[in-house]
Amino acid sequence: VAIVAKRHSSHADMFIKDAIGLVKIHAQGPDEFIAATVYKPFHDVTTGIRFRTSGKDTVISGISETGLFQDTVLCEGDKILSVNNTDCSRLKCDDIANLVRNATGNVAILAKREGETVHATFMKGRQDVDVGFCLMKLGQDVVVRGISSTSPCYGSLMRGHKIKSIEIECTGRTPVEVARFIKKAPQKVTLYAQDPVMNLLSQEANGHSTRNLASDQECPLCMSFFSTINSTECCNALMCSTCFLNHKHKYNRD
């Protein structure tokens, strides 16, 4: 029996369950090569692993809770290097998915995990719930500008984290696009973030953060601060819900 304890956070906490026989512990390090092998008895067995394109690479976009890879060290965001010793560096995302789908017997995946990563899955409860963090644009990245202590991601997601994907690739998108996707997402949301931006972290450490950053977007009309997750967009203007209602005769709904 081999049990791998996983914790998708920036901490090195590990939990070991009682087991008979071999117990394996996996610890994550920066720029780490990782491997996982599962047994697929029949061609039609669903492995429960999904892929997406990220730049020139193919990465894992999700792993089903009932899939074959659920209890392996692989997680969302891992870069795929090979499948059953087949080099995947020049293969398209669909070709890699077909390698896994068409395999029978052992399915071995070699992947690379770059830097510190956070993989958080949380339940919103209802579609319009405030998830307790706000976003900002920094270069080509969307980063977490602030997070409330009541957020379901508090403790794993932190100020300065780059949002890499929320089921979709987030690099190159605007904070409004990412916030809109979270707002319209179903109850279960899976988020992948990476590499905290150090200048944001240093500002927080030096006490320069003076507001509750879970509501840190400035309304262009009333100059109040509100959450980008709960905002309303009209004619490319992002405003608080109060101003939207007060000035709806001046703005048309999308």
Angstrom distances, CA of residue 36 to CA of 44, 67, 210:
20, 13, 45
Q: 117-211 falls under which CATH superfamily?
A: PDZ domain (2.30.42.10)
3-state secondary structure the chain: CCCCCCCCCCCCCCCCCCCCCCCCCCCCCCCEEEEEEEEECCCCCCCCEEEEEECCEEEEEEECCCCCCCCCCCCCCCEEEEECCEECCCCCHHHHHHHHHHCCEEEEEEEEECCCEEEEEEECCCCCCCCCEEEEEECCEEEEEEECCCCCCECCECCCCEEEECCCECCCCCHHHHHHHHHHCCCEEEEEEECCCHHHHHHHHCCCCCCCHHHCEECCCCCCEECCCCCEEECCEEECHHHHHHCCCCCCCC
Identify which of 14-18, 132-136, 173-177, 182-186 has the greatest average pLDDT: 173-177
The residue ranges of every structural domain in the chain are 32-113, 117-211
Q: Is the pLDDT of residue 108 over 90?
A: yes
pLDDT averaged over every residue in the chain = 70
Residues 206-245 pLDDT 10s = 443 333 434 445 555 554 455 554 444 444 455 555 565 6
Instruction: Pull the structure tokens for residue 84.
Output: 């059953």
Indicate if the pLDDT at residue 16 is higher than 70: no
Domains 32-113 and 117-211 fall in the same CATH topology = yes
Q: Could you report the per-residue pLDDT of 29-56, keeping only the tens digit for each?
A: 455 688 899 999 998 888 999 998 888 8
Q: At the top level of CATH, which class does the domain 32-113 belong to?
A: mainly beta
Of the candidate ranges 77-86, 189-198, 234-243, the one whose mean pLDDT is the lowest: 234-243
